[in-house]
């Protein structure tokens, strides 16, 4: 297998996309996420840290960032971590995603820490931990799989 599948091994390899390249791809391809102000803090080989700014539009009753916003941020975070490992493959698509909401994050900024747990040739699975910026406790946990299109699966 030419692709590393270990997160620890992966982190020692350089990212195949820069934060700036991913930011550009986001603006061109996922304008809604760019509109939300999703920012890339860092991308590694199979890892990514993204942040979402505070915005009253994101809130739901209870003065807390809504579920759909957390899901959107998490989905993009896995995508960033995946492209960090395989390079710019815009057509990689989410196959499935499970989110568990653990604690209401409140109304502020959100930080998403994503890591690819398994990078196969055709399917990649990653995990995201979401935190309110003011807290060390996880607000939500996400696990998601992405299908990697054939033509790019060799990286």
State the residues that interact with its own copies by CB under 8 A. 5-6, 8, 29-33, 35, 57-58, 60-62, 66-69, 71-72, 75-76, 90-91, 93-104, 117-118, 122-123, 125, 127, 136-138, 141, 143, 145, 147
* Residue 52: strand pairing partners: 110
Distance CA 61, CA 140 (A): 17
3-state secondary structure 37-98: CCEEEEEECCEEEEEECCCHHHEECCCEECHHHHHHHHHHHHHHHHHHHHCCCCCCEEEEEE
- The residue (of 2 and 100) whose beta carbon lies closer to its own copies is 100
Taking the complex as a whole, the smallest distance from the CB of residue 146 to its own copies amounts, in Å, to 10
In whole angstroms, how close is the CB of 145 to its own copies at the nearest point? 6
- Tell the smallest beta-carbon distance from residue 141 to its own copies (Å): 6
Q: How far is the CB of 67 from its own copies (least distance, A)?
A: 5
């Amino acid at each position: 297998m030419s692709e590393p599948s270990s997160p620890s091994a992966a982190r020692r390899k350089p990212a195949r996309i820069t934060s700036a390249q991913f930011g550009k791809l986001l603006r061109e391809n996922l304008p809604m996420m760019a509109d939300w102000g999703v920012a890339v803090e860092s991308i590694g080989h199979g890892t990514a840290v993204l942040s979402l700014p505070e915005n009253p539009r994101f809130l739901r009753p209870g003065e807390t960032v809504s579920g759909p916003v957390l899901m959107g941020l998490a989905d993009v975070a896995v995508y960033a971590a995946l492209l960090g490992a395989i390079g710019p493959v815009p057509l990689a698509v989410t196959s499935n995603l499970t989110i568990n909401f653990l604690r209401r994050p409140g109304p502020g900024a959100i930080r998403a820490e994503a890591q690819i747990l398994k990078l196969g040739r055709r399917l990649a699975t990653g995990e995201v931990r979401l935190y309110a910026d003011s807290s060390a406790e996880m607000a939500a946990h996400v696990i998601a799989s992405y299908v990697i299109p054939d033509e790019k699966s060799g990286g």
